[in-house]
Structure 1
């Protein structure tokens, strides 16, 4: 089982990266919380969760052990698969998710596309005690990384929001209402849009 990958980023997109480890490219699905922190090139080390099915082996990557632990906890809940767990971590950072689960914040949890009230209640019920036993978050786990702005940042942000489960019209409306500089990068736009959508 693959638990850690260290290599160069050969390709980077909103939902996955390809990490070149000694000439072998590993496709790794990542949540937005990890994507925001990845450099455009150079060495990267990802904590890996390996998911094995009959027809596929999928890798899910995280920058910190805390994110990986939250992902594994989410998978322990009946009805939550890897895709939904990644979607949850893309919408709610691991530290905030831990707080929401610990406090039984159903409203915050059910604001994530793909999670209804019943699923949110089940997540809170099953994980409330488990998150309390997790190791505390390090204060420097999410050091900021600058992502270069591009001309297609708004288009990329729209695509990311739609992939996360938001309706196209809803995502467009939020993006149009955001007050961001024309040269704003994808990370800044996505964070702003998700703040509005999660209210």
Structure 2
């Protein structure tokens, strides 16, 4: 229903930003990372997700598209609701989430309030399974060189590509983002971070 809100930041509250768009104040639940980028009285754009259910009509807003992608990815995991997804993205970033999934790092997920070991394991398991299915489908993460991700599975480039794919980027976007990044000389986290910087406008 809403793709993004572009307006003035009217209020900043714990886990909530109120956006004034044409005289209407939209309350957007959000993460600490997004709140840190906002200033009251200044113009901003938030990419949004509308959560509608029985007696529920909640708007979520994020300063970056990849944070929204991560949020949607998390709430797609069974047992993970919007509150838990915000908690995870408030103590980490899309990069750290991607790294946690790729490396099976439960501790970075359980650092979020209310996220126990079982939920962290489920997130890693389900999202790794999602990555495996994408790899099995032969997505091309080679930047146009024609090699499928499964053929490059052992390389750092493929690991970075899988992490980025989990955040919702297409194989073409990932291939483009990895161009010019020193995939052999840099640590995996830095490859992901540099690639994300190129994709987030």
What is the aligned length? 143
Tell me the equivalent position of 1:138: 196
How much does 1:56 deviate?
2.5
After superposing on structure 2, the runs of 4+ consecutive aligned residues of structure 1 that deviate more than 6 Å are 140-143
Aligned position for 2:136? none
How far apart in 2 are the matches of 1:62 and 1:110? 22
TM-score by length of 1: 0.67
> Displacement, 1:7?
0.6
CA distance in 1, matches of 2:96, 2:120: 15
RMSD: 1.9
Would the aligned equivalents of 2:66 and 2:200 in 1 still touch at CA under 8 Å? no
1:196 corresponds in structure 2 to none
- Mapping for residues 110-149 of structure 1, pairs under 5 Å: 110-130=110-130, 132=162, 133=165, 134-135=168-169, 136=174, 137-139=195-197
1:36 partner SS: helix
Residue 116 of structure 1, CA deviation? 1.3
8 Å Cα contact 1:3-1:50 kept in structure 2: no
- Specify every segment of 5 or more residues in structure 1 that has no aligned partner in the other structure, as ranges: 144-199
Instruction: Tell which structure's C-alpha radius of gyration is larger.
Output: 2
SS in 2 for 1:139: helix
Residue 57 of structure 1 deviates from its aligned partner by 1.0
Query: Match for residue 182 of structure 1?
Result: none
- Superposed displacement of residue 31, structure 1: 0.4
- Give the SS at the match of 2:197: coil
TM-score (norm 2): 0.66
* Deviation of the 1:40 alpha carbon: 2.5
Q: Deviation at 1:141?
A: 7.7
Structure 2: tracts of 5 or more residues without a match: 132-161, 175-194
Q: Distance in 1 between matches of 2:78 and 2:25?
A: 32
- For residues 127-171 of structure 1, the C-alpha deviation after alignment (integer angstroms, 9 at most, x for no partner) is 12546223255326889xxxxxxxxxxxxxxxxxxxxxxxxxxxx
Instruction: Say whether residues 1:109 and 2:109 are aligned partners.
Output: yes
